Structure 1
Amino acid sequence: MSFIRTLEGDISPQSLGFTYSHEHIVCRPAFWAERGESDLLLDDPEKSQRDVEDFKACGGSAIVDATAVDYGRDVEAVRRIGQETGIHIVGTAGFNKSFLWDARIKEELKPIIGSYATYAEWIDRASINELTAFVVREVEEGLEGTPFKAGQVKFGTGYNRITPLEEKTLRAVARAHHETKAPVHSHTEVGTMALEQLELLRSEGVDLNFVSLGHMDRNPDPYLHEQIARTGVYLSFDGIGKIKYAPESTRIALILELVRKGYENQILISGDTARKTYYKHYDHGLGLEYIKAKWLPRFVDEANRSGFDGEKLAEKFFVHNPAACFSFKK
């Protein structure tokens, strides 16, 4: 039996609909707050909701909120946005990456995880089994003590390296996956260390067909992408709209190259919209409507010109592939 776990409860994969596979809706990351980086604080739920409403108005159905515990998520606010807009929202258990872990843990979390001062202290002092138990609780009982359960488990690694604490969280997340059957998602910094992550997951006995890797378009290397795709994982191209990293022509070419090689069933698309300046209703950015309303028509046109069925590919990337990727298979 397969199902997808949203903040509102479990649904059938067929009910998910048009999906953004990696976004952030409301979050106040302590690391950035402590440094006065206001752009990285999505701290106004009303403004976030207006962007989610725009996404729904252009045909969107579901959003995977990839905000883990160390990135300052607001579970109640995000769940309320999903409830009021009717958008399915998938929450995330697990961890992000080590440089964020110098931040102080918010007081509300300490009754749940213990009286550690920082995330680094918690992860360093806790055993892998203790970290695994925390992730399992977030999937099976609820995020941060709420009744709203996570629909995927996440870990992350840094730029061109995997620190000992990152490996520790990776192994905890892998073991939580075995216990819960939740799909696994990873943060790759600038698209690096993907193959190394997969080797560690293999060492934990994880079936890589249950794994998605984020930020693949940040490392625009077709050879590397093919090596990754051969393992069976999903590749998330989630930097759509971020021209400062690469033009859209580069992303589309990378995606179509994977399609040419037969990997169209392993591609996910999203925007990783995690700054005020990316949101329309915070600071006049492209907003959550951009991919569906503006990028996708261009992609379909370019795919058609390259001899593919652009509409069929769009259906795969935004409907069929997310429904398969984010399913629990028990």
Structure 2
Amino acid sequence: MTFIRTLKGDIAPEQLGFTYSHEHIVCRPPYWQEHGADDLLLDDPAKSKKDVEDFKRHGGQAIVDATAVDYGRDVQAVKEISDELGIHIIGTAGFNKSFLWDAKLKEELKPIVGNYPTYREWIDRASIHELTEFVIREVEEGLEGTPFKAGQVKFGSAYNRITPLEEKTIRAVARAHHETKAPIHAHTEAGTMALEQIELLKSENIHMAYVSIGHMDRNLDPYYHEQIAKTGAFLSFDGIAKLKYAPESQRIECILALVDKGYEDQILISGDTARKTYYKHYEYGLGLVYIISKWVPRFIDQANQKGFDGEKLIHKFFIDNPARCFSFKK
């Protein structure tokens, strides 16, 4: 049996449609709240909804909300956006990266995870088995005690290193995957440590076809991308529109280099739109509409110029590949 788990329930893979594979919709990360970083708080559901509505108006059908428990999810608000707009939204269980764990643990989580003061202390003191059980519950029962279940499990690592606590969460997420069959997403900091993450996953007997590796366009290295693709993992180019890191031309060149080597079935595209200044209806940014309305036509044009079938590739990146990547196979 193959299905995709959304906040509204399980659907057939062919029902998912045009999908952004890594976004954040409503979240109040405790770490950034404590540090007064307002730009990183997507704290107005009505404004977030308007951006999702723009995406839908241009043909968008599904979004993967990659917000894990330590990044301040608002599960109820995101579910309401899904219901009101008729958009499929996939929720995320698991964890993010280690520096965020210094933040205070949300009060509503304490009945679920125990009376720890910070995320770091929870992850440090809990056993891998206890962390695994927490992730399993979020997939099979619901996120943070709600009835809305996660459709993927996530872990993260730091820049050019994997800390002991991050390795602990990687192993917990891998073991939760074995129990639930939920697809796995890996956060890489600036696109580093992907191969090291993969080695840890292999030590937990994970088949890499169930794994997507994030932020590949933060490390625009075609050789590195090829080494990751050879393992069978999906590569997520999820920094579209972030010109402060690289021009779109370099992203497109790296994507087409993978296509030229035969890896077009392993590519995902999204924006990781996690700041007010990225959102159109918060701070007049390019918004969730940018990729589907502006980047897609540009990619098609550049791909066609180089002898590829741009429209066919877009169908793969946004429809076919997400339908496979985010499927549970039980």
Which TM-score band applies after superposition, normalised by the shorter structure? over 0.9
C-alpha distance in 2, partners of 1:87/1:276?
21
What's the secondary structure of 2:90's corresponding residue?
A: strand
C-alpha distance in 1, partners of 2:87/2:251?
27
1:42 Cα deviation (Å)? 0.1
1:77 Cα deviation (Å)? 0.3
What is the total number of aligned residue pairs between the two structures? 330
C-alpha distance in 2, partners of 1:318/1:107?
37
Give the equivalent residue in structure 2 for 1:132: 132
C-alpha distance in 2, partners of 1:22/1:254?
19
Give the equivalent residue in structure 1 for 2:109: 109
CA RMSD of aligned residues (A): 0.2
1:73 Cα deviation (Å)? 0.4
1:172 aligns with 2:172: yes
Give the equivalent residue in structure 2 for 1:190: 190
C-alpha distance in 1, partners of 2:26/2:173?
23
Paired AA for residue 293 in structure 1: S
Give the equivalent residue in structure 2 for 1:65: 65
C-alpha distance in 1, partners of 2:83/2:253?
37
1:247 Cα deviation (Å)? 0.2
C-alpha distance in 2, partners of 1:28/1:155?
19
C-alpha distance in 2, partners of 1:72/1:186?
18
1:147 Cα deviation (Å)? 0.1
What's the secondary structure of 2:262's corresponding residue?
A: coil
Gap runs ≥5 in structure 2: none
What's the secondary structure of 1:137's corresponding residue?
A: helix
Give the equivalent residue in structure 1 for 2:209: 209
C-alpha distance in 2, partners of 1:248/1:9?
35
What's the secondary structure of 2:282's corresponding residue?
A: helix
Give the equivalent residue in structure 2 for 1:287: 287
Paired AA for residue 224 in structure 2: L
Give the equivalent residue in structure 2 for 1:89: 89
1:231 aligns with 2:237: no
C-alpha distance in 2, partners of 1:29/1:268?
25
What's the secondary structure of 2:288's corresponding residue?
A: coil
What's the secondary structure of 2:197's corresponding residue?
A: helix
Q: Deviations over 1:135-191 (max 9, x none)?
A: 000000000000000000000000000000000000000000000000000000000
C-alpha distance in 2, partners of 1:182/1:129?
17
Give the equivalent residue in structure 1 for 2:316: 316
What's the secondary structure of 1:91's corresponding residue?
A: strand
TM-score norm. by structure 2 comes to 1.00
Paired AA for residue 37 in structure 1: A
Q: Deviations over 1:271-296 (max 9, x none)?
A: 00000000000000000000000000
Gap runs ≥5 in structure 1: none
Give the equivalent residue in structure 2 for 1:56: 56
Give the equivalent residue in structure 2 for 1:277: 277
What's the secondary structure of 1:254's corresponding residue?
A: helix
C-alpha distance in 2, partners of 1:106/1:134?
15
C-alpha distance in 2, partners of 1:208/1:265?
13
C-alpha distance in 2, partners of 1:23/1:83?
18
% identical aligned pairs? 77
What's the secondary structure of 1:22's corresponding residue?
A: strand
C-alpha distance in 1, partners of 2:8/2:240?
27
